[in-house]
Structure formats: C-alpha cells, structure tokens
C-alpha cells in the first residue's frame, strides 16, 4: 500500500502543495539531497521511494542500525560507477540517520558534495542535535507532521478497496474503524498492520465484515470511548488533572487507565504531570517535581506498556502529596509586574564587577558577600527600587512548605532589615 506518487501520499499537505521544494525536486528532476524529520509512520521512507520512482533513479537503502562506514562507502562507490557508465542516478536512502556516528555521517559527504547520489536521510530525532553540520547544510530539511485521525481514516479506506490491499473483499464497521484509527496513534504503518490482522480474523470466522469485536480480538486491545483529538480528549485529561489536584487517588488512576487504554500518547500524560508537580504541589512536597520528571524520563527510556507503572507511581505520589499553588501565584505576580513596566535598574552593588574599570563606576563596590555574614544572609537590597517591597512568594503552611514559610519569613526580615 505504499504510495507510488506524491499525489497518493496521505497527509503532509505542506510538502505536496504546488511549488513546494519536494514537488519541484520530483517534477523538476533536480539532484538535491533531503533530510526528512518526523515521527514514525508519517511517510519518510515513502517519500524516498517516490523520489526514486518518479525521477527514474536507482533506489538503494542503507539502515543506520546495521550499516557501517564500509557499507556506506560501498553504496556511494557503486553509485559513482553507475554514473561513470552512463547509467541512472542513485537515490541513497539512509533510515534512522541519527544512529550514525560522526565518522559514518562524514562518509556520506563526498557522495552528497559531488552529486554522486541523491541522499534522502530520515530521522525521528531533532537533526540540529543528531546530524553533523556539514551534512545538514548540504541537505534540504523537510519537517513531516504527525498524521491526523482523518489522514489515518483515508489510509484505511484506500486499503479496503485498493488491489494491493484488501481489494474490496471486506467491509469495516464504523466503530471498528474508529477503534483501529485510535490505536494507530497517527502511524500509517501501524493502522495497516492492525487492519490486516483484523481482516485475517474476519476471514477465519467466515465473515466479510470487520466488526468491533473482531478488531478488538485481532489487536488484543479493548475499545475505550475516547477521541484523542475531540472533546473526550480534553474532558478526560482535564478530569485527570483536577482529580490529582483534588487528591483523589482512585479517580486519578481511573482517568489515567482510561487514557492509556485508549492509546493516548504517554509522553503527553507525563508532560502534564511534570507541569502539575510545580503548578499544584510546588514546595509543599519538593520531591514531587523530581518524581514527575523521573516518570517522564522513564516513559522515554522504557516505553509502553511497562511505563504505565511509572506513570501510575507518579500519579499516586502527586495525588497524595500536600498541595500548594504558591509557586504559580508567585511567578504570575512577578510576570504581571514586569509586563506592567516595573523593571527598574539593577542596584549598583549587584552589577557585574569582573571587568577592568567596573569598580571605578561603582559596580559591586558596596556588595556584601553573603557567606561572610551570620547565617549566610546579608542585609542589603537585591530588587530594583520599583519593586523593593514586592512580596511575590507567599508560602502556605501545608506540608513541607510550612517549614519553608517559617524560614522565608525570618530570612526576608534579615535581608530587608524590617
């Protein structure tokens, strides 16, 4: 079912539009290297294949997982020899190029610079961090967006009727299709795999219709009423956050399970917990942010389904933690003053005094080094005059913030001499 032309490609309208660099490359038959950056299942390999087919070039694929410098150089040498014999140009597709070392990426440069190959490199990682600058500067960077549910529906509908797919042999119920689309999570390859499995299950039952039960059996996943891009998505995540904020562990776990079973992106859930740790728990439990960040890292390292345990632990920890929104109100109050124009000059004794001549203009001259003072706290002005009496952080007496409140009140009096 891989698209054979750019017009058959699903999604990526920004790349398929008239006059776009990709369309110019294909229709103008130009020799230009591409760097495709996007999530799995969005069409990176497909675009490389289209470039090859529509421009009548040879297609050679190298996987960064298995290939080394030797294999890369061999592919480029073969392409160079083909050109020398008057043969066709070569599209060299390098999948997961971010897995290549610097030396392996360097090996690609001669082929790109001398136009011996049209390089199409694909990556799911940020290329500005994972691809060497010389290769990045010699390639046209194209950003692929995640496919929407409508895009995935289009993939399913095409696969049902296309001769390369199910060729009209099966029909699919609306709820079964919605189930497969939801579980695919924007990955076209995944939904085709699920559809093929569901069709196989229906065939074994002697049926030409794929219903919800058949789809569930085929992919071993119960259907949950949940629209990842609709009201249910926002309603459930809102209920989840409010349940954790409200310290109801059971309700929090219910909404967490509901999202995970529906195929919600676990990274989205983890990000919300990291935000909540500072927004609603704050310093009432200083370990909350550490716990949430650790869960987010675990999701990246482990992935589902095991990472459900990490998300559950973080959810329980944040739900039972004492709550404080003092961090939120503090930064909001400080931001409001800055936006209102209450900026003010930095007090002279706090200004940079490391460069020659700074002391002559009074920078740092009267600065008191805190560690030389009793309790490590010096009485001096830190804030600009315009906000000298501001009190942004107002800690609560809840949880660990109670001790912070007592200390901050004493420290504030020493600093300001009041």
Whichever domain contains 160, its CATH number is: 1.10.8.60
Strand, helix or coil for residue 279: helix
Residues 236 and 290 occupy one common structural domain = yes
Max CA separation in the chain (angstroms): 92
pLDDT score for 172: 93
pLDDT score for 360: 58
Binning the chain into helix, strand and coil, the percentages to the nearest 5 are: 55, 5, 35
Q: What one-character DSSP code corresponds to residue 126?
A: -
**What is the per-residue pLDDT across 345-393, written as a single tens digit (0 to 9) for each?**
778 777 666 654 555 555 666 777 788 778 888 787 778 888 888 888 8
pLDDT score for 226: 53
pLDDT score for 287: 95
Q: What's the CA gap between 261 and 220, in Å, rounded?
A: 11
Range of the domain at 63: 6-143
DSSP codes, 176-226:
HHHHHHHHHTT-HHHHHHHHHHHHHHHHHTT-SEE-HHHHHHHHT------
Residues 285 and 299 occupy one common structural domain = yes
Residues 73 and 127 occupy one common structural domain = yes
Residues 24 and 132 occupy one common structural domain = yes
pLDDT score for 71: 83
35 phi and psi, to 5 degrees? -125, 110
What is each CA distance from 389 to 17, 82, 336, in whole angstroms?
57, 77, 15
pLDDT score for 227: 52
209 phi and psi, to 5 degrees? -120, 130
CATH of the domain at 274: 1.20.272.10
DSSP codes, 309-378:
HHHHHHHHHHHHS----HHHHHHHHHHHHHHTT---PPPGGGS---STTTGGGTTTTT---GGGSGGG--
Residues 136 and 157 occupy one common structural domain = no
Q: What is this structure's pTM? A: 0.50
DSSP bridge pairs for 60:
92
What's the token pair of residue 175?
A: 């709820």
Residues 287 and 358 occupy one common structural domain = no
What's the token pair of residue 78?
A: 């073969």
pLDDT score for 13: 80
Domain end point (choices 108, 143, 178) = 143
1 in any annotated domain: no
Residues 197 and 281 occupy one common structural domain = no
Residues 19 and 102 occupy one common structural domain = yes
Q: What one-character DSSP code corresponds to residue 30?
A: -
60 phi and psi, to 5 degrees? -125, 125
pLDDT score for 328: 93
106 in any annotated domain: yes
How many domains are contained in the chain? 4
- Contact between residue 266 and residue 311 where contact means Cβ atoms under 8 Å apart: yes
The structure tokens 């809840």 sit at: 398
pLDDT score for 72: 83
Low-confidence ranges of the chain (pLDDT < 70): 28-31, 220-233, 351-365, 418
164 in any annotated domain: yes
**What is the per-residue pLDDT across 72-124, written as a single tens digit (0 to 9) for each?**
888 889 888 888 888 788 888 888 888 888 888 888 898 888 888 888 888 88
Q: Radius of gyration (Cα) for the chain, nearest Å? A: 29
pLDDT score for 283: 92
Which helix (DSSP H) or strand (DSSP E) does residue 121 occupy?
Answer: strand 117-123
What's the token pair of residue 296?
A: 């987010």
pLDDT score for 354: 64
């Amino acid at each position: 079912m891989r698209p054979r032309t750019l017009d058959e490609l699903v999604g990526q309208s920004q790349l398929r539009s008239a006059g776009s660099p990709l369309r110019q490359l294909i229709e103008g038959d130009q020799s230009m290297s591409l760097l495709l950056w996007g999530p799995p299942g969005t069409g990176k390999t497909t675009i490389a294949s289209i470039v090859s087919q529509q421009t009548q070039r040879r297609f050679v694929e190298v996987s960064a997982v298995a290939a080394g410098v030797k294999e890369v150089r061999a592919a480029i040498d073969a392409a160079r020899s083909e050109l020398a014999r008057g043969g066709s140009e070569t599209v060299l597709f390098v999948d997961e190029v971010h897995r290549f070392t610097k030396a392996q990426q360097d090996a690609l440069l001669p082929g790109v610079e001398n136009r011996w190959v049209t390089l199409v490199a694909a990556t799911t990682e940020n290329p500005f961090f994972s691809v060497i600058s010389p290769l990045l500067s010699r390639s046209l960077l194209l950003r692929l967006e995640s496919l929407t549910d409508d895009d995935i529906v289009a993939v399913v509908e095409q696969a049902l009727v296309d001769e390369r797919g199910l060729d009209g042999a099966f029909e699919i119920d609306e709820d079964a299709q919605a189930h497969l689309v939801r579980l695919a999570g924007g990955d076209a390859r995944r939904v085709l795999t699920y559809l093929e499995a569901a069709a196989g299950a229906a065939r074994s039952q002697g049926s030409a219709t794929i219903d919800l039960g058949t789809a569930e059996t085929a992919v071993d996943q119960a259907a949950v009423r949940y629209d990842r891009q609709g009201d249910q998505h926002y309603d459930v995540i809102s209920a989840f956050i409010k349940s954790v904020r409200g310290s109801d562990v059971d309700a929090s776990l219910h909404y967490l399970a509901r999202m995970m079973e529906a195929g919600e992106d676990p990274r989205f859930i983890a990000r919300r917990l990291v935000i909540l740790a500072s927004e609603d728990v704050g310093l009432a439990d200083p370990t909350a942010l550490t716990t949430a960040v650790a869960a987010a890292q675990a999701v990246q390292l482990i992935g589902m389904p095991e990472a459900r345990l990490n998300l559950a632990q973080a959810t329980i920890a944040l739900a039972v933690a004492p709550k404080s929104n003092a961090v939120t109100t503090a930064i909001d109050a400080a931001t409001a003053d800055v936006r209102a124009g209450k900026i003010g000059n930095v007090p002279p004794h706090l200004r940079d005094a490391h460069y020659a001549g700074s002391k002559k203009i009074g920078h740092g001259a009267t600065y008191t080094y805190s560690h030389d003072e009793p309790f490590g706290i010096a009485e001096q002005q830190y804030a600009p005059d315009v906000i000298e009496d501001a009190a942004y952080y107002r800690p609560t007496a809840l949880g660990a913030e109670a001790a912070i409140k007592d200390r901050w009140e004493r420290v504030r009096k020493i600093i300001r001499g009041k």
